[in-house]
Structure 1
Amino acid sequence: MLSPVDHIREIERVGAGADSDRDATVVQSWLRCIRDHRLDPAQACEAYIVPDGRLREHRQQSEDLIAIARSGLEGLYRHIAGQNYVLLLADRQGVTVDFLGDPQWNGQLRKAGLYLGAEWSEARAGTCAVGACIEQGEALTIHQTDHFDNTHTPLSCTAAPIYRADGELAAVLDISLLSSPLQKTSQRLALHLVSATARRIELAHLMAQARHDWVLRFARSPEFLDVDPEAAVSVDASGRIRGMTHGGARILAAAAGGDWRRPDRLIGRPLSDYFTMDVDDLPELTRRRPTHDRLLVARDGNSLFAHAIEPQHKVARSLLPRRDEIPAPLRALGGADPAMEALQVRAAKLAPKPVPILIQGETGTGKEFLARALHDGSGLSGPYVAVNCAAIPETLIESELFGHAPGAFTGAAAGGRKGLIEAADGGTLFLDEIGDMPLVLQARLLRVLAEKEVTPVGATRPRPVTVRILSASHRDLAELVAAGRFRADLYYRLNAATLTLPPLRARRDFDWVLDRLIERHRPKGGALALSAPARDLLRGHDWPGNIRELDNAMSVAAALCEGGRIEVADLPEHFHRSAPASDPRRQALEAVLRDCRGNVSEAARRLGLDRTTVHRQMKRLGLGV
């Protein structure tokens, strides 16, 4: 390997116009670094991790891609497990938004920039696989001294672009090594694996977007056509190109003598511009014909085997699910409240995806009910297993989660015991109050998520598990991370997507929630109703305990009421003490409103308050508007 001084001199010579034995992609990147980005090879450019706030923004913008890409990333990571590779998914700005690596190397990986939140744009890091891939638009390897900056020369990085269906760059998939063999050819298999995974992610993305269009998939060999196609395009009902994978863009460009780097000139044109067929011929390329007979000829004379997939629905529909399309378990979480409706739509889209979800909200807002509804709407055939991390004693939580081998410790079951993680295999594991999990167990959980296997306490061999992870906390996990009480890598692994439940006091469907709790506590075969004064009193309460507090109040009231009718006196005692009828504030506000004939704006002026404050006080005191 070149010494740092020799490496700097080589870059300077290339910058001055000298020839080089390096790959053309490396030389072009070096020249961009010098001429466009004004970088100095003698000036160290150490790895940069973006602040947490910026990382959250980048991850939110890439949420759909992360969800679709997750299974592909985990499949690739299983291929390279044990070979010390780190897998990074970077967005089009070069910021790492997803990350898979061995947790025991986290310190070294973070220092090297092979970590969540690392920015690998060429302008920031110089020549590197992610940055060069963004600039070049093609798969490549940047090996050791190919890197512009001496800080990065121990690394070997291989990256492939992931394109959106409209042909624009969406992300870059990278696998890297902290150290590697000297020869660049050692990374040929890595280049093949990362390119194949990027191709499959693009295909999954296209298929998800093109449910209502024809999809035409291509392969050079008929044996791989139905199982691992090389490229695909989507075609609308009129026969025009709607979307494509990167391989599809190359096929279209070659067929029409165009440029795959100008996707806007490829999309929207008739299928017949590219192939000797039109949309009416697509049924002949479906599975009703043998694979070997599905041969397609492009306008440039290129022959391809093709598989046409029919639209799932002929009529164009909204991409957002209507309320009646949302799974019933999710619909049952709320009524006509804008915040809850938005959450239900978002949850319906996320439920069938394998992406981990962090559920946040105050205590008692229904996080466990949302987790169960997500599982019920996921289509998973395995069990739903819920774990309250705050309720299990710290001395027992490890064996409860991971299980134990026979005789692993004093008092252990003679035959060993399956842990809750393994019990959830094939289904959903819900980790409630995840913020209370001890740090040492957070590291073990991270390894389970990364490697998809669990090792019981006292066992020597791991057991494979596949679980969908949902987690919840009423605490701000980002604050716990900043305080060093929660692992940053686990935090970002768990909250690939976030769902936040609104507090009960902010929900406009309070009466809907209340009516369902009344129904829940109605005695079998009997009746249960709520008097108007009792309802008004409940409406004006702040509900610090949220739905759980309201549920408890209805439980007490249902037990105390007579004749199936809940009165104010049947509510828990603290409601009596704060009953609005004895509140001087209520009496004063009532008097002003009476004088103003119910005109809230006039009352606000007389009281020296703004209108919003008066409305809030009226709601809290149970006064009608």
Structure 2
Amino acid sequence: MASHVDHIREIESVGLGAATMRDATVVQSWLRCINKHRLDPAQACEAYIVPDTQLREHRQQSEELITIARSGLESLFRQVAGQNYVLLLSDRAGVTVDFYGDPLFDNNLRKAGLYLGSEWSESRAGTCAVGACIEAGEALTIHQTDHFDNTHTPLSCTAAPIYDIQGGLSAVLDISLLSSPIKKASQNLALHLVSATVRRIELANLMAQSSREWVLRFSRSPEFLDVDPEAGIAIDGSGRIIGMTNGGAKVLARSGNLDWRDPQALIGQPLSRFFDMDIDDLPDLTRQHRPQDRLVFARDGNALFAHAIEPNIAVRSPAGARHDIPTSLRNLSGGDGQLAALQAKVAKLAPRPVSILIQGETGTGKEYLARAIHEASGRTGKFVAVNCAAIPEPLIESELFGHLPGAFTGAAPRGRIGLIEEANGGTLFLDEIGDMPLALQSRFLRVLSERELTPVGASRAKPLDIRVVSASNRPLEALARDGGFREDLLYRLNAATLVLPALRERSDFVWLLDKILAKHRMNGEALAVAPAALLALKAYHWPGNIRELDNVVSVAAVLCHNGVIEVSDLPEALLRRALPQRSEEPHTQRGALEAVLASCNWNVSQAARSLGVDRSTVHRQIKRHGLNHRN
């Protein structure tokens, strides 16, 4: 093994542009360590174990993943028993939230950082398997002197990323040795084992979160299709992709000539965009048919064996009886499985003083959830909502912290109580927290850590008792990695993270629509939706989520006759997008096509104009679906 001096010189020369025989992932990591993280290879950095309170926060956020992954980790640990391997499950921040190792070597493992609570982010530990895996997003081995820091050069570490069903990196599984053979190729088997385990964890997670939807699993061999598939995707009732494993994302991306690293280009697309099939073909791919007969063809010409698993409609809430859920939380959904699990989680968190971060697309109801948390918390103070993106940056500090009389030019003569102080004894809701200026983030971090605030122009701090709920539709972890958001503030805000599903992912659409119809009824008369219009609403992708649905209904309520919303009352843009087209072969759903034809009284020319296609395309789709005016 090279000496420490040689190792340092090699890193410094690579930093200056010299060539090396190291893997490209190692070189890229070394350069990030030097240029981005400003680390010095000559400065040794001992392994870091986060404090117990911080570890509890990280484990709480990863509780669901730890539970799902545990069976796979135990199986992997049994496979490598007696070979002195250690398994680390790290979260997105690089903190080890679960750990499997020989207790006889506890002291050595803790000293080396191969232990529960160790932080292996690249900015903290330099080039290492967990940190480089988080950055690269792919499985890799960092072997001995591949490590940036001399402290870690005895180790050989192999890691693979675990992706959530929306395509975001959620964790890393690492398998490490305190000492290993000199050759890096000795860890090829470890790389295979950790990648296979991650694949099974992702499939288990997809199945757990998509039990009310169709799940389609793939294999290149019929023999392994039903027992150890290679990839999976989840499909909603309208035939759109709503979830996937990383392998599933790569299958879709290859088929559609897209980038699997851009999951937003995959999620929400119709199944027929990627395969020569649609949702009506899925029953032919269930276990009632022989594996070798379940062959599907991707749009890029590749053939795969597929196993379709039907939705389990009779899913029970994991949280016990519904009457245990506070009323404010019960009103969040009408039986959607994802939201039932969320309600149960929130019911436990609401009375606790922990900070909560709500993530979700624009319009999914983040403020509504925050208010529900406040109402279920038992706190007697006010609920104060602050949109960090709506307040002009020069005013946001005085708006949040308040100010004394004459504290600055233009200050209110009598001073002003800030929004933070206004929430004293209650809940402060910070919407669009990702837009808070960096300088102000430092001040707010002090508020959270010290539980006191100092108004602008004041010299004394005031004690504070607030519960903080924040929300963002932006990936705060990525912002933090890029320096746009303070990591230490993020970890204060996301003691618990709640993710609101998009409207297109929810199974209680009709229940939600009924709630909105009741809100917009005219002159006290009930509103209704004609069957054809309901089919069109269900087929739409809803990029604006609940807020967009509310806007559509509010306009349709004014336009409709006799309190019944017809297809003609819906926006033309909605109808076009509800029926996604390709230039040669549109992939429409039977029900949505019927809806447009019904609205046009089966005038094919008018239907074609509504859809933005020619008449021959509509005729071809009518023939394909076996439709006629009497249906």
Q: Flag the 1:77–1:325 CA change in 2: closer, same or farther, 3 A.
A: farther
**Is residue 238 of structure 2 the alignment partner of residue 238 of structure 1?**
yes
Deviation, structure 1 residue 45: 1.4
Deviation, structure 1 residue 323: 3.2
User: Equivalent residue for 2:42?
Assistant: 42
SS in 2 for 1:111: helix
User: Equivalent residue for 2:200?
Assistant: 200
> Hey, what's the Cα distance between the residues in 1 that align with 2:99 and 2:155?
17
* Matched ranges for 1:439-454 at <5 A: none
> Hey, what's the Cα distance between the residues in 2 that align with 1:79 and 1:317?
34
Are the aligned partners of 2:318 and 2:344 in contact in 1 as well (CA < 8 Å)?
A: no
User: Equivalent residue for 1:250?
Assistant: 250
TM-score, normalised via structure 2 length: 0.51
How many residue pairs match? The answer is 335
Deviation, structure 1 residue 319: 7.4
* Matched ranges for 1:202-601 at <5 A: 202-313=202-313, 322-323=321-322
> Hey, what's the Cα distance between the residues in 1 that align with 2:324 and 2:209?
17
> Hey, what's the Cα distance between the residues in 1 that align with 2:344 and 2:194?
33
Deviation, structure 1 residue 289: 1.1
User: Equivalent residue for 1:154?
Assistant: 154
Letter in 2 for 1:169: L
> Hey, what's the Cα distance between the residues in 1 that align with 2:36 and 2:274?
37
> Hey, what's the Cα distance between the residues in 2 that align with 1:301 and 1:63?
40
Letter in 2 for 1:195: S
Structure 1 residue runs of 5 or longer lacking an equivalent are 327-340, 350-496, 498-625
Deviation, structure 1 residue 346: 6.2
Letter in 2 for 1:276: D
**Is residue 191 of structure 2 the alignment partner of residue 191 of structure 1?**
yes
Q: Flag the 1:343–1:222 CA change in 2: closer, same or farther, 3 A.
A: closer
* Matched ranges for 1:115-134 at <5 A: 115-134=115-134
Letter in 2 for 1:27: V
Cα deviations by residue, 1:214-252 (Å, 9 ceiling, x for unpaired): 000000111000000000000000000010000000111
Deviation, structure 1 residue 264: 1.4
**Is residue 80 of structure 2 the alignment partner of residue 80 of structure 1?**
yes
Deviation, structure 1 residue 265: 1.4
SS in 2 for 1:19: coil
User: Equivalent residue for 1:14?
Assistant: 14
User: Equivalent residue for 1:357?
Assistant: none
% identical aligned pairs = 73
User: Equivalent residue for 1:422?
Assistant: none
SS in 1 for 2:289: coil
User: Equivalent residue for 2:65?
Assistant: 65
SS in 2 for 1:234: strand
> Hey, what's the Cα distance between the residues in 2 that align with 1:222 and 1:42?
53
Letter in 2 for 1:43: Q
Cα deviations by residue, 1:361-420 (Å, 9 ceiling, x for unpaired): xxxxxxxxxxxxxxxxxxxxxxxxxxxxxxxxxxxxxxxxxxxxxxxxxxxxxxxxxxxx
Q: Flag the 1:13–1:195 CA change in 2: closer, same or farther, 3 A.
A: same
> Hey, what's the Cα distance between the residues in 2 that align with 1:120 and 1:24?
20
> Hey, what's the Cα distance between the residues in 2 that align with 1:342 and 1:217?
24
Q: Flag the 1:101–1:296 CA change in 2: closer, same or farther, 3 A.
A: same
SS in 2 for 1:46: coil
SS in 2 for 1:115: coil
User: Equivalent residue for 1:31?
Assistant: 31
Letter in 1 for 2:222: P
Q: Flag the 1:325–1:214 CA change in 2: closer, same or farther, 3 A.
A: farther
> Hey, what's the Cα distance between the residues in 2 that align with 1:163 and 1:325?
32
Q: Flag the 1:325–1:210 CA change in 2: closer, same or farther, 3 A.
A: farther
**Is residue 173 of structure 2 the alignment partner of residue 173 of structure 1?**
yes
Are the aligned partners of 2:255 and 2:275 in contact in 1 as well (CA < 8 Å)?
A: yes
Q: Flag the 1:256–1:343 CA change in 2: closer, same or farther, 3 A.
A: closer
Letter in 1 for 2:218: F
Q: Flag the 1:91–1:343 CA change in 2: closer, same or farther, 3 A.
A: closer
Q: Which has the larger radius of gyration?
A: 1
User: Equivalent residue for 2:444?
Assistant: none
SS in 2 for 1:99: strand
Letter in 2 for 1:3: S
SS in 1 for 2:79: helix
CA RMSD of aligned residues (A): 2.5
SS in 1 for 2:58: helix
Cα deviations by residue, 1:429-460 (Å, 9 ceiling, x for unpaired): xxxxxxxxxxxxxxxxxxxxxxxxxxxxxxxx
Deviation, structure 1 residue 302: 1.1
Deviation, structure 1 residue 103: 0.5
Letter in 1 for 2:104: Q
User: Equivalent residue for 1:554?
Assistant: none
SS in 1 for 2:32: helix
Q: Flag the 1:324–1:229 CA change in 2: closer, same or farther, 3 A.
A: farther
Q: Flag the 1:344–1:104 CA change in 2: closer, same or farther, 3 A.
A: farther
> Hey, what's the Cα distance between the residues in 2 that align with 1:321 and 1:210?
19
> Hey, what's the Cα distance between the residues in 1 that align with 2:274 and 2:343?
42
User: Equivalent residue for 2:97?
Assistant: 97
User: Equivalent residue for 2:113?
Assistant: 113
Deviation, structure 1 residue 322: 4.0
> Hey, what's the Cα distance between the residues in 1 that align with 2:241 and 2:217?
13
SS in 2 for 1:118: coil
Cα deviations by residue, 1:86-122 (Å, 9 ceiling, x for unpaired): 0000000000000010001000000000000000000
> Hey, what's the Cα distance between the residues in 1 that align with 2:256 and 2:316?
31
> Hey, what's the Cα distance between the residues in 2 that align with 1:144 and 1:342?
43
User: Equivalent residue for 1:577?
Assistant: none
SS in 2 for 1:17: coil
Letter in 2 for 1:293: D
TM-score, normalised via structure 1 length: 0.52
> Hey, what's the Cα distance between the residues in 2 that align with 1:172 and 1:133?
7
> Hey, what's the Cα distance between the residues in 2 that align with 1:343 and 1:184?
44
> Hey, what's the Cα distance between the residues in 1 that align with 2:323 and 2:226?
34
Are the aligned partners of 2:318 and 2:341 in contact in 1 as well (CA < 8 Å)?
A: no
